[in-house]
A and B are shown apart, each in its own frame.
Chain A
Amino acid sequence: MTPIQSPASVKGALPYWGVLCCALFVTASVVCLKKGVDNTQNLLNTVSWLEMPAVVSGWVWAGILCFIISFVFWLKVLKVLPLNIAFNLVNIEHVFVPLASYLFLGEMISPMRAIGIAIVLLGVWVIAEAYCRIEERV
Chain B
Amino acid sequence: MTSGFFVLVILSQALMVGGQIFLKHALNSTVDGSETSTWKRAAPFAYGLGLMTLWFFLWLELLSQVELSYLYPFDALGPLFMAFGASMMLKEKMTPRLWYGVLLIVVGLLIVGASQ
Chain B contacts of A109 at CB under 8 A? 69
Decide yes or no: A31 and B68 within 8 Å by CB, A112-B114, A119-B108, A130-B83 being known contacts. Answer: yes
Given A37-B60, A98-B69, the answer on whether A123 and B86 have CB atoms closer than 8 Å is no
- Which chain B residues numbered 100 to 116 have a C-beta less than 8 Å away from chain A? 100-115
Complex CA–CA separation, A122 to B92 (angstroms):
23
The SS class assigned to the A binding surface is helix
Contact A117 B68 (CB under 8 A): no
Q: Residues of A at under 8 Å CB distance from B?
A: 1, 3, 30-31, 33-34, 36-38, 41, 43-44, 60, 87, 94, 97-98, 100-102, 105, 107, 109-110, 112-113, 115-131, 133-135, 137-138
With A119-B107, A127-B79, A134-B86 given, name 13 new contacts (CB 8 A). Answer: A30-B68, A101-B72, A107-B67, A107-B69, A113-B111, A117-B112, A118-B108, A123-B104, A123-B107, A124-B80, A126-B98, A130-B83, A134-B92
User: Interface residues, chain B, CB within 8 Å of chain A?
Assistant: 21, 24-25, 27, 30-31, 59-61, 63-64, 67-70, 72-73, 75-76, 79-80, 82-84, 86-87, 90, 92, 95, 97-98, 100-115
